[in-house]
Chains A and B, each alone.
Chain A
Amino acid sequence: MVSARCKTLVKEELKKLSIEYASVELGETEILQAISPVKRAILNAALCAWGFELLDDKKSILVEKIKNIITVLIHYSEEPLKINFSVYLSEELKYNYTYLANLFAEHHGITIEHYIIAHKIERVKELLVYDELSLTEIAFKLHYSSVSHLSGQFKKVTGLTPTHYKQL
């Protein structure tokens, strides 16, 4: 699982620099002592080499948490949400959805909904390439209300129909 590998990489980098930590989660690490600016810069460089980024302002961290929740939902969750996404996100992060949505759009330049759809389409592309499921099964797996809705979003995001994409 990619998320487990990410956490392992972060733990390894922390160990190399003898930084003790209480927890390493997706998007959030709690360290047990203050670190010097030099050590911080070294850690940042090491994490950057793995494609990570060290964030410390609260809003950036919150945006990162939103992205992590979306990644887990789309890539690792089999069950559909039992509540609406807006309710789920605000309950998970303890902020109003409106605040989170505005913050995300401000930081990211696109809406949360656009980000979710773009990620879902990436997942659809993966599943099409694996060639194990039909489009109907993919629509069901990713909790689309209909195949035509999936196809419409796919065309909008990629410019291609799913069938055309699969033939490439």
Chain B
Amino acid sequence: MNKKQVILIVDDDEDDKQLFFEAVKEVDETIECRAASDGMEALKMLNDKKNSVPDYIFLDLRMPGIGGKKCLLEMRKKERLRNIPVIVYSTSTEIRDENEFKEAGVVHFISKPANPQEIYYLVSFVINEC
């Protein structure tokens, strides 16, 4: 039997987080969703060896305190976190050089759509692909 998949969603916006949770559950209700509200909380959760390493991380780039990019770079310094596929939410203006993110292990870039239906398709696509 396959092990239960775990997704970590890092987003400071509670409504967006909820939309992602719902989309993930619609794609596959067996997936365990964890959430962090900023980069600091995410790093704390990820560095806690009591927690299993998530299978994917959905990371908002624009967050107060430790933002998405800093969080990503910090994560990549740790051996056990280095290979987790990361999907970043972004706008084209926030990402000037995608290569920099690709080198840090970002596997997909998404713009947060306002429409919940589109979030389902994004999550479904990414989970199937990664």
Contact = CB atoms under 8 A, between A and B. Distances in A.
B55 to A, nearest CB: 11
A96 B97 CA distance: 8
Contacts of A98: 90-92, 95, 98, 109, 111
A113 B91 contact: no
Interface in B68-98: 90-92, 95, 98
B98 A144 contact: no
Contacts of B124: 113, 117, 149, 152-153, 156
B108 A86 contact: yes
Interface residues of B, number: 27
B27 interface: yes
Contacts of B90: 98
A46 to B, nearest CB: 36
Nearest to A96: B98
Interface of B: 26-28, 90-92, 95, 98, 102, 107-111, 113, 117-118, 120-122, 124-130
Given A96-B98, A149-B27, A152-B124, A111 B113 contact: yes
A84 interface: yes
Interface in A138-155: 144-145, 148-149, 152-153
A121 to B, nearest CB: 11
B95 A111 contact: no
A86 B27 contact: no
Residue from B117, B120, B122, B124 whose CB has the most chain A CB atoms within 10 Å: B124
A97 B106 CA distance: 12
Interface of A is mostly: helix
B62 to A, nearest CB: 14
Contacts of A86: 107-109
Nearest to B98: A96
A113 B121 contact: yes
Contact of B121 (A85, A97, A117, A149): A117
Contact of B118 (A87, A99, A110, A116): A110
Contact of A90 (B26, B98, B127): B98
A144 B37 CA distance: 31
A116 to B, nearest CB: 6
Given A98-B111, A102-B92, A145 B128 contact: yes
B129 to A, nearest CB: 6
A148 B111 CA distance: 26
Interface string A149-167: 1001100100000000000
